[in-house]
A and B are shown apart, each in its own frame.
Chain A
Amino acid sequence: AQSVTQLDSHVSVSEGTPVLLRCNYSSSYSPSLFWYVQHPNKGLQLLLKYTSAATLVKGINGFEAEFKKSETSFHLTKPSAHMSDAAEYFCVVSRTGANNLFFGTGTRLTVIP
């Protein structure tokens, strides 16, 4: 079975400061891990994905995440928050080679001017 736990339902940062959104996963199999972003009234968009290649994954808009097997974590980071980063972020897991995704409960990121 696969599942993810997003440790914070809401994160608030000031513009220009670092962003850290935390995610821990559980998987009986070799996992694939993803971060999706959902802006208000818009569809989900893939930020980045890990599929058993490099453990440090770089995504769009300056985001990156590191797969740490020993900690079963896949935290999302960005060095400097921008106002446009305000959105809902979902950590997602799937069994590598499988077809469906299992979503976390989401973290709402607020960026303060």
Chain B
Amino acid sequence: GAGVSQSPSNKVTEKGKDVELRCDPISGHTALYWYRQSLGQGLEFLIYFQGNSAPDKSGLPSDRFSAERTGGSVSTLTIQRTQQEDSAVYLCASSPGITVYYEQYFGPGTRLTVT
């Protein structure tokens, strides 16, 4: 079956511009996660959605970062006024239910380069 998909696969943007990254989770998965993988920070949790509950935003590094999940399916991660330190691979994952008892399935990521 189809896995988690992310678009675009690569994004190059100028410092100060806004970017939107998209994640399509596996159909039927109620939980969706965003992570960031960068050379300096490794792989870090950003935000988590579960059904219609309020998202867990505890990992967002600044108020320039926001995310939405519409209709309990597709999610968009938005970075406003991008900075060079935002350059990283942004990974999305989905799982069938809440808590880490359920395996998280990862997408291939979006590589963001801020010039």
- Chain A residues with CB under 8 Å of chain B are 32, 34, 41-46, 49, 51, 90, 94, 96-106
Contact = CB atoms under 8 A, between A and B. Distances in A.
Interface stretch (B13-21, B38-46, B67-75): B38-46
Contact of B103 (A49, A102, A104, A105): A49
B115 to A, nearest CB: 22
Contacts, number: 60
B99 interface: yes
Contact of B106 (A34, A45, A106): A45
B99 A98 contact: yes
Contact of A43 (B43, B48, B109): B109
B100 to A, nearest CB: 4
Interface bin, chain B: 20 to 34
Nearest to B93: A44
B61 interface: no
B48 A100 contact: yes
A106 B50 CA distance: 27
A51 B100 contact: yes
Given A100-B56, A102-B45, A43 B100 contact: no
Given A45-B106, A99-B99, A100-B59, 9 more contacts: A32-B100, A32-B101, A43-B3, A46-B103, A49-B100, A99-B98, A101-B100, A102-B45, A106-B43
